Amino acid sequence: GQNIDQPTEMTATEGAIVQINCTYQTSGFNGLFWYQQHAGEAPTFLSYNVLDGLEEKGRFSSFLSRSKGYSYLLLKELQMKDSASYLCAVGDNAGNMLTFGGGTRLMVKP
Amino acid sequence: NAGVMQNPRHLVRRRGQEARLRCSPMKGHSHVYWYRQLPEEGLKFMVYLQKENIIDESGMPKERFSAEFPKEGPSILRIQQVVRGDSAAYFCASSQGTGLEEQYFGPGTRLTVT
């Protein structure tokens, strides 16, 4: 089966750092993806991890531990515009689909 | 370079009618994926198509739903005899190759069944 868990909601302060965790148990694995989705809009790609370790891209970083079935997305120097849902997804072995978690709604407060 | 285009953006149908959702992939992309997002839920994979071929439809409901991606024209997701539970946002994504990291999402079609 496929099971991807992430917190439903988080709140953080502008300028701070926030870490959004994701744990997964899937029958296959072909990469761990993070997407950002503003309300009523399309998901936009943030990061992709296929090997263990940290991938840094500007204010956003993503970490993967395949042995633990665990990933996190780290957002630094939070801005109000970072208020959005953050979706964790796992690619299947065949490369045919992404399996998404329920998403974490992040609210950034002044 | 235009992104993935979907139309209509909003669609209202009465129970029992047919809904037809269109997706035009990014230029040069020949792989199309359809996902459904129910209110307050995550995205759920429905179907993966390449030109004129359905590659994986493991996420499609067995009845009333069908998808195609013809040689010419957009990909179509068709829902026959819609029911209230079909109300959702339907997102299309496209990629140039089979690499999942290359998927780009369209703005979605929000279907409301009354």
Nearest to B47 by CA among A44, B110, B62: B62
Residue A45 sits at the chain B interface (C-beta within 8 Å): yes
| pLDDT at site A1 | 63
Chain B nearest-CA residue for A6:
B42
Other beta carbons within 10 Å of A13: 11
Sign of CA dihedral B69, B37, A100, B29: positive
Residues B27-50 have pLDDT tens digits of 988 899 999 998 878 899 999 999
Cβ contact A98–B45 (<8 Å)? yes
* DSSP bridge partners of A106: A10, A84
Chain A nearest-CA residue for B37:
A102
Cβ contact B100–A87 (<8 Å)? no
B42, B48, B105: residue with CB nearest A101: B42
* DSSP bridge partners of A25: A3
Q: How far does B82 lie from chain A, in Å, by closest CA?
A: 22
Contact yes or no for B91/B34 (Cβ under 8 A): yes
Q: What percent of chain A has pLDDT over 90?
A: 79
What would the two tokens of residue B15 be?
């129970």
Local structure of residue B101 (DSSP, 8 states): G
Identity of the amino acid at B29: H
Distances, alpha carbon B48 to alpha carbons A4, A97, B58, in Å? 21, 7, 9
Chain B residues 11-50 within an 8 A CB cutoff of chain A: 33, 35, 41-45, 48
Residues A11-36 have pLDDT tens digits of 999 999 999 999 999 888 889 999 99
Cβ contact A96–B91 (<8 Å)? no
Higher pLDDT, A78 or A41: A78
Q: What does the pLDDT profile of chain B (114 residues) look like in tens digits?
A: 579 999 999 999 999 999 999 999 999 888 999 999 988 788 999 999 998 899 999 999 999 999 999 999 999 999 999 999 999 999 999 988 766 667 899 999 999 999
Q: Which of A97, A99, A100, A104 would you mutate first to test chain B, the one with the most B CBs within 10 A?
A: A97
Other beta carbons within 10 Å of A68: 10
Residues A72-84 have pLDDT tens digits of 999 999 999 999 9
Cβ contact A97–B56 (<8 Å)? yes
Chain B nearest-CA residue for A93:
B100
Other beta carbons within 10 Å of B65: 19
Residue B5 sits at the chain A interface (C-beta within 8 Å): no
| pLDDT at site A101 | 93
Local structure of residue B10 (DSSP, 8 states): E
Residue A68: pLDDT over 80:
yes
